[in-house]
Amino acid sequence: MTINWQLLMPELIIILTFILVAIFDLFNSIQKTVAAWLTIVGCAIALYVSIDMLQVGMEGTEFSNMIQVDKYSLFFNVIFLVSTILVVLISMNYLGRTDRRQGEYYLLILLATLGMMLMASGNELIVVFLGLELMSLSLYVLAGYFQRSMASSEAGMKYLLLGAFASGFFLYGIALIYGGAGTTSIPKIASAITVNATSPLLLSGMFLLVVGFGFKVALVPFHQWAPDVYEGAPTSIAAFISAGPKAAGFAAFLRIFLEALQNIQSEWIVVVTILAALTMTVGNLVAIAQRNIKRMLAYSSIAHAGYVLVGLAAANKDGISSAMFYLLIYCIMNIGAFGAVILARTEDGESLMISDYAGLGFKKPLLALFMTLMLLSLAGFPPTAGFVGKFYIFRSAVESGQIWLVIIGAINTAISAFYYLRVVVAMYMREPEEELDFHPYPSLLIVALTLAAIGVVLIGILPSYFLSPAQISTFL
């Protein structure tokens, strides 16, 4: 069997970066920030290679058709790598220079990124599962990274237990689909279902896959872990969990349901549509009651998963491309929002209560500017990226006849504006209850937030430059 290693170059670069970081971490005499810079450089090279392969249109399958390298997987590679670079940038100042375990931190981030890339390119349900577990196991450890923090340890343990439970559902779903279709190959499942479309095994496996994916991307009612994990995990890791891994879950979700299970679309589209409506509504309504900004962003993340699911419910080429486009936007603006939370650190720790942001519009104008821009984008105000992302998602649903789902989405967008603007109002129109001593602006964090802000504005003003690659990268 001849392997075209050029097709696997982005993954190979991440593996090589992992090895280099592991080697350099053995030398305690070097600065721990070297591990971070190696991670950034490796991911930047992999990002450049992925973009180049996407532009050239390099495609093919490897390892007996188990890995599918196409424009779809390469587009998601771009999302994963951009997310990883931004998260590493906001992590460097967050962790400081004295944490001797930083090497482990960046190694786990690289492993999680590799798992995401496998999920997007998996042409076999087993490969998707392996990528999912590689990503998930890394995230469990990262969520509990602050071992001396009870909240962080609890977040890691809760994420581990519930994640393992969800993985069991996912694996059992794969087993039932294999029983019904006789294969775990995604293209072959699609062919087998044309003959045996009504098999109870297939339908049961489909529902279990929905449960497994529902947990990984935090869909209602499988979302209970998200607020607690986001609140307890290090803020940089909460940003990471909310971005790349969610995009990876949807990358596999879209490919499996719209390619492997396309011939039983009438069975699963009803379930997906109901989940989209529930996820948007519950996420936004519960977010209103939150006073902790990380929990508010957690429920916001749940609501945004519902918006992405509208693209899957549309079940057409525009729906896929709009979901891919929205995931790129979501990752940038959500990491930017969590980065702004890190920027609001005080001498006593992080400012996590919304009341702590009162008066920051004048005391910390740059911080308030970044936070305002990200929140307005998350709410979907023009001319930000969040607005155009929602517009294309809802347009694809209208074209597929899902009018009532679009109405629910529009209502939820209006509801979300309330709790996003509440933070903006606090920053610019409220007096602080007490004077807080904030840290000076960390340079690398400002760089990361500036890049995120440029992305949010640029995509909002020139959406076609970013939507076009998504439209040519769909597999339908």
Residue 363: which pLDDT band, with cuts at 50, 70 and 90? confident
pLDDT at 351 over 80: no
CB of 336 closer than 8 Å to CB of 370:
yes
Residue 476 lies in a domain: no
pLDDT at 100 over 70: no
- Eight-state DSSP code of residue 381: -
Residue 406 lies in a domain: yes
Give residue 473's pLDDT. 83
Give residue 96's pLDDT. 67
Residue 347: which pLDDT band, with cuts at 50, 70 and 90? low
Number of domains the chain is built from: 1
Give residue 98's pLDDT. 52
* Segment 203-226, tens digit of pLDDT: 888 889 999 889 888 898 888 888
pLDDT at 43 over 90: yes
Q: What is the mean pLDDT of residues 26-50?
A: 83
pLDDT at 39 over 70: yes
Residue 249 lies in a domain: yes
CA distances from residue 414 to 411, 417, 424, 429 in whole angstroms, order as listed: 5, 5, 16, 21
pLDDT at 148 over 60: yes
Residue 109 lies in a domain: yes
Residue 92 lies in a domain: yes
pLDDT at 439 over 70: no
Residue 437: which pLDDT band, with cuts at 50, 70 and 90? low
Of 77, 21, 2, 1, whose CA–CA distance to 44 is shortest? Answer: 77
pLDDT at 29 over 60: no
* Mean pLDDT of all residues belonging to the chain: 86
Domain that holds residue 218: 5-471
- pLDDT above 90 covers what percent of the chain? 34
pLDDT at 55 over 60: yes
Query: SS3 of 412, please?
Result: helix
Residue 193 lies in a domain: yes
Angle at the Cα of 51 from the Cα atoms of 49 and 53, rounded to 5 degrees: 65
Flag whether the pTM goes above 0.85: yes
Q: How far apart are CA 384 and CA 245, in angstroms?
A: 23
Residue 297 lies in a domain: yes
Give residue 198's pLDDT. 67
pLDDT at 196 over 80: no
Give residue 435's pLDDT. 64
Alpha helices in 400-475 (DSSP H): 403-429, 443-461, 464-471
Residue 1: which pLDDT band, with cuts at 50, 70 and 90? low
- Among 50-54, 347-351, 417-421, the minimum mean pLDDT is found in 347-351
Give residue 41's pLDDT. 93
Give residue 247's pLDDT. 92
Residues whose CB is less than 8 angstroms from the CB of residue 57 and which lie 6 or more positions away in sequence, other chains included = 71
pLDDT at 80 over 90: yes
Of 300, 129, 136, 151, whose CA–CA distance to 223 is shortest? Answer: 300
Q: What is the mean pLDDT of residues 154-174?
A: 88
Structure tokens at 65: 């058709």
* Segment 249-262, tens digit of pLDDT: 999 999 998 888 88
Residue 375 lies in a domain: yes
Q: How many other β-carbons are positioned within 10 Å of the β-carbon of residue 440?
A: 5
